[in-house]
Structure 1
Amino acid sequence: MDISVVIPLLNEQESLKELHDWIVAVMQSNRFSYEIIFIDDGSTDNSWATIQNLSAKNTNVKAIRFLRNFGKSQALHAGFEMAQGEVVITMDADLQDNPEEIPAIYHQLNENKLDLVSGWKKVRYDSVISKNMPSKLFNWAARKTSGVQLNDFNCGLKAYRKQVIKTIDVHGEMHRYIPVLAKNAGFSRIEEKVVKHQARKYGTTKFGMERFINGFLDLITIWFISKFGKQPMHLFGALGVLMFIIGFCFAIYLGIDKLFFTPYGRLITQRPQFYISLTAMIIGTQLFIAGFIGELVLRSKKQEKRYKVLETITPKVSAKTLESTK
């Protein structure tokens, strides 16, 4: 199979049929073998019924329905697990991503032997104050922190080689940082492509200003994981040893001063240096233990699914049907 199109969605019933027809037209005109995977992230409208109707008419349509809203990252993770195409395209369901960009990013990925091609919505039709300016600030911080030189981390339109999405683990709200996760996993051949951004045609956005706050917090998490995720003792252990040494030095100073210089002065417990010493050694010990526990957890933790699937649609496609789509 050439392409798997993975589409997470939440309450997008108005746009699904139009998006499906648009993708199918692009695939057929370019003679791609394909599948479309919709992930219904707990929609409360008729999105799932619409998907069922599309699947009944087109055996290339597959779908996953979550028990409730688990978030875009979990939806992408589930879609990545189901995807079978050699190239996996992700896009949003709100028609703001243009399916006609798919052939170009597909060929760019293959011809340049890349691991990932990320879309860049250079010209946007969003609100300048609520989206454009915070997005620019967010992307700048992400570039500086991660070292991945992309102008638009938030663009939903991306192309991945199959090996990439089968290797990385997308959870929490890490969908914004899939290129960073890919780079940390060793897939460093990443390029960007300017793509068309279209104004939302139906409904309203499902993300508010809180996504940027969460995004910056996740950015810190990504930075920590990329630097110390495999060896947390290198951070916590180093800080713990440093704090313990500071506290121990204060303790030695107090002992020498009490024994040789002020034997009849104030009690050690009446001096502020005593509490600095005690606090520093306690914090140092706790940091060291935190690093040790982190190492143990890292070696024993098993990855668990962070979502619950309610229904799936996986039509069986015969070899004859698949051949007819090429």
Structure 2
Amino acid sequence: MDISVVVPLYNEEESLPELIAWIDKVMGENNFSYEAVFVDDGSTDTSWAVIEELKKTYSTIKAIKFRRNYGKSAALNVAFEATQGDVIITMDADLQDSPDEIPELYRRIKEENYDIISGWKKKRYDPITKTIPTKLFNAATRKMSGIQLNDFNCGLKAYRSDVVKTIEVYGEMHRYIPVIAKWAGFNKIGEQVVEHRARKYGTTKFGFSRFVNGFLDLLSIFFVGKFGKRPMHFFGSLGVLSFLLGTIMALWMIGVKLYHIAAHIPYKREITDQPLFYISLVAIIVGSQMFLAGFIAELLSRNAPERNQYLIEKEII
């Protein structure tokens, strides 16, 4: 099968008939064999009934329905497991992503050998309350990941099959799939300017909280990707540094006190009366705790069942 089109959705009953008709038209014009994998993320409208009705007309439809709303990342992760196509195309169900972009996305994956092609909605029809935070997150993600994409959160993306079969997406991490893929060893990531259409039906399903959650998930991805198999390098380094700074401050105060005593110079201030004493004490305690946290995390990592699971691209036996 050439293409799997993955469509996560939540309360999109109005747009589904038009979307699948558009996808089918594009696939037919380009002689692609395809499947359309819809994941109903706990919709409260008649989206599932619409999908069941559309299945009677379009045999290419596969569908999964969650009992409740888990979020876009969960929908994508489940859909990725169900796909059978050589190239996976993800797109939103609200008709803001154009299926007409699919042939070029497919071509670049197959002919230019990219792992991922991420869409870039260069001209957007979103309100400023959405576009400004998105720009900030894109800039932060570029800085932390080193991946030079302009629009990490674009729902329209293309993947080689082995990419989506390898990675795991959860939380709010769907917007950082290129980062997750890079940590997994898929480094050929490209970008393509795509059409962004004004919303035709309904309202956006995302609130401001997604930006807070997205930032926290970005930190999680960065930490796990860099230190997931060697937590002692992170906690231990900070712990040792804090412990040494605290010890140096404490020794300096003790040295000053002993110098005054040896030189018979009056020194009325007790060590415990100085703010520096408490700063050094906190630094020593925090350093010790961080070192112990790193040691425990290292033990857990070494005893985890996946501790020696590594991604092998090729093998000759």
TM-score by length of 1: 0.87
**130-139 or 38-47: which moved more?**
130-139
Partner of 1:77: 77
| Counterparts of 1:122 and 1:59, CA distance in 2 | 34
2:144 matches 1:141: no
How do residues 13-52 of structure 1 correspond to structure 2 at under 5 angstroms? 13-52=13-52
Q: Percentage identity across aligned positions?
A: 61
SS of equivalent to 1:38: strand
What letter corresponds to residue 200 of structure 1 in structure 2? Answer: R
Q: 1:43 to 1:232 in 2, by over 3 A?
A: same
Displacement of 1:117: 0.6
- Where does structure 2 lack aligned partners over 5 or more consecutive residues? 307-317
CA drift of 1:108 comes to 1.0
- Alignment CA distance shift 1:52-1:297 (3 Å): farther
Higher mean alpha-carbon deviation, 279-288 vs 229-238, is at 229-238
Between the aligned partners of 2:198 and 2:164, the Cα distance in structure 1 is 29
**Match in the other structure for 2:220:** 221
For residues 163-242 of structure 1, what are the structure 2 equivalents within 5 Å? Answer: 163-242=162-241
1:220-265 superposed Cα distances (whole Å, 9 cap, x missing partner): 2333233323322212110100111112223323444444534885
TM-score w.r.t. length of structure 2:
0.89
Q: How many residues align?
A: 302
The separation in 1 between residues aligned to 2:81 and 2:303, in whole angstroms, is 23
1:111 paired with 2:111, answer yes
Q: What are the superposed Cα offsets for residues 186-224 of structure 1, whole Å, 9 maximum, x if unpaired?
A: 111111111111111110000123322332332223332
Residue matched to 1:316:
none
- For 2:75 and 2:297, how far apart are their aligned partners in 1? 28
Would you identify which runs of 4 or more consecutive aligned residues in structure 1 move more than 6 Å? none
1:292: which partner in 2? 295
Q: Cα deviations across residues 140-174 of structure 1 (Å, max 9, x unaligned)? A: 22212211111111110000001101111111101
Pairwise CA distance, 1:302: 6.5
Moved more, 214-223 or 33-42: 214-223
For the residue of structure 2 that corresponds to 1:6, the secondary structure is strand
Distance 1:248 1:186 in 2: 41
The aligned residue for residue 120 of structure 1 is 120
Q: What letter matches 2:64 in structure 1?
A: I
In the alignment, residue 298 of structure 1 is paired with which amino acid?
A: S
Q: Equivalents in 2 of 1:297, 1:206: separation in Å?
A: 38
Residue 278 of structure 1 corresponds to: 281
Output the amino acid matched with 1:271: Q
* CA distance 1:80–1:250, shift in 2 (3 Å): same
1:300 CA drift (Å): 4.5
Query: What are the ranges of 5 or more consecutive residues in structure 1 without an aligned counterpart?
Result: 304-326
Aligned position for 2:314: none
2: CA distance, partners of 1:72 / 1:293:
33
Per the TM alignment, residue 298 of structure 1 is displaced from its structure 2 partner at its CA by 3.4
SS in 2 for 1:230: coil
AA of the residue aligned to 2:157: K
SS of the aligned residue for 1:288 comes to helix
Using a 3 Å threshold, how does the CA distance of structure 1 residues 90 and 280 change in structure 2: closer, same or farther?
same
Q: Separation in 1 of the partners of 2:67 and 2:275? A: 57
Q: Quick one: which amino acid aligns to residue 177 of structure 2?
A: I
Greater relative contact order (CA < 8 Å, ≥ 6 in sequence): 1
| Residue 22 (structure 1) shift | 1.1
Give the whole-Å Cα distance in 1 for the aligned partners of 2:224 and 2:139: 19
